[in-house]
Amino acid sequence: MWEIFCGFILGMVEGLTEFAPVSSTGHMILVGDLLGFKGQIASTFEVVIQLGSILAVVVVFRKRILQILNLPKQWELIRDQWHGVKRDREPHLNLLHILVGMIPASILGALFSHFIKENLFSTATVIVGLVAGGILMIVAEAFRKARPTTTHVDYITYKQAFTVGLFQCLALWPGFSRSGSTISGGLLAGMNHKAASEYTFILAIPMMVAATGKDLLDNMGALHASDLPLFIVGFLSAFGFALLAIRFFLNLISKFKLTPFAYYRFVVAIIFALVLYV
């Protein structure tokens, strides 16, 4: 029964924090330490419940995703953009924007995945990541353009997409936060908060599916039928809370920016440092 309770709590933590700029991985590591939920099962569980958060993004952005997966139309859009043909009534976000954004972190993650898992998945490194990511967010707010050049996700450029992809590399350090890093990169590249946030969420789908799929294959031997209730509870909890969190965050980010989330990260880092190390 205790494991089921832990599954619900960690699913809630995953769902609420995956797409907020506060680091879901960092929060799960810290909360897992507090609950004593560790080991191979815990590691596999954390991978599985991310699928619940991914499904929530698919539900929220289902129309946009269907447009991107319309490959003939995507090829037409890419070709027209390449030749400078403007179609104001057509959506301009295309599959190439997603692929360009994926490249940097995919390469870096593939090269250093073993090192990252061996050296960066600890409470101490997460606390450092929370603080460093918070500083990045404050810097991004301070140096973003007063008048963003891109105010809608349909009109981001390939250069902006690649810049966001470069900042996504920082999220390989647990605690930095994928959304915190990529939204910060989007702001510094000239996007407004809403455009940067929507692109971040859409970009997260293939990145998380790839990372989660690889981790599931690596941990397949740790899955047992007796653990199914734990995984189901965690998956449903993550899906439900992520669905609420995404809609809430998209409304919130345009009003309050990134700075309050940065201060929250500092407070969480201090609290966990005191609880776990003092």
Q: pLDDT tens digits, residue range 198-243?
A: 999 999 999 988 888 877 777 777 667 777 888 899 999 999 999 9
pLDDT given at position 117: 81
pLDDT given at position 77: 67
For residues 160 and 189, the answer to whether their CB atoms sit within 8 Å is yes
- Report the pLDDT averaged over residues 24-29: 83
Query: Residue 203 and residue 98: Cα distance in Å, rounded?
Result: 6
- Report the pLDDT averaged over residues 114-143: 91
Torsions phi, psi of 275, nearest 5?
-70, -40
pLDDT given at position 91: 55
pLDDT given at position 86: 62
Does residue 88 register a pLDDT over 70?
no
Least confident segment among 63-67, 91-95, 145-149:
91-95
For residues 18 and 24, the answer to whether their CB atoms sit within 8 Å is yes
Residues whose CB falls within 8 Å of the CB of residue 129, separated by 6 or more in sequence, listed in order: 23, 26, 120, 173, 174, 175, 176, 177
Average of per-residue pLDDT values in the chain = 87
Query: Residue 164 and residue 93: Cα distance in Å, rounded?
Result: 14
pLDDT given at position 222: 66
For residues 164 and 189, the answer to whether their CB atoms sit within 8 Å is yes
pLDDT given at position 85: 62
- Tens of pLDDT, residues 151-164: 999 999 999 999 99
* Orientation of helix 2-17 relative to helix 24-35, angle to 10°: 160
Does residue 118 register a pLDDT over 70?
yes
Which of 45 and 171 is assigned the larger pLDDT?
Answer: 171
Choose among 130, 192, 138, 182: nearest CA to 161.
182
Query: Residue 242 and residue 13: Cα distance in Å, rounded?
Result: 9
For residues 231 and 89, the answer to whether their CB atoms sit within 8 Å is no
Query: Residue 170 and residue 135: Cα distance in Å, rounded?
Result: 13
pTM: 0.87
pLDDT given at position 113: 84
Both tokens of residue 64? 């946009």
Q: Which of 24-33, 71-80, 81-90 has the highest mean pLDDT?
A: 24-33
pLDDT given at position 74: 66
What DSSP string describes 129-154? HHHHHHHHHHHHHHHS-SS-SB-SGG
Residues whose CB falls within 8 Å of the CB of residue 5, separated by 6 or more in sequence, listed in order: none
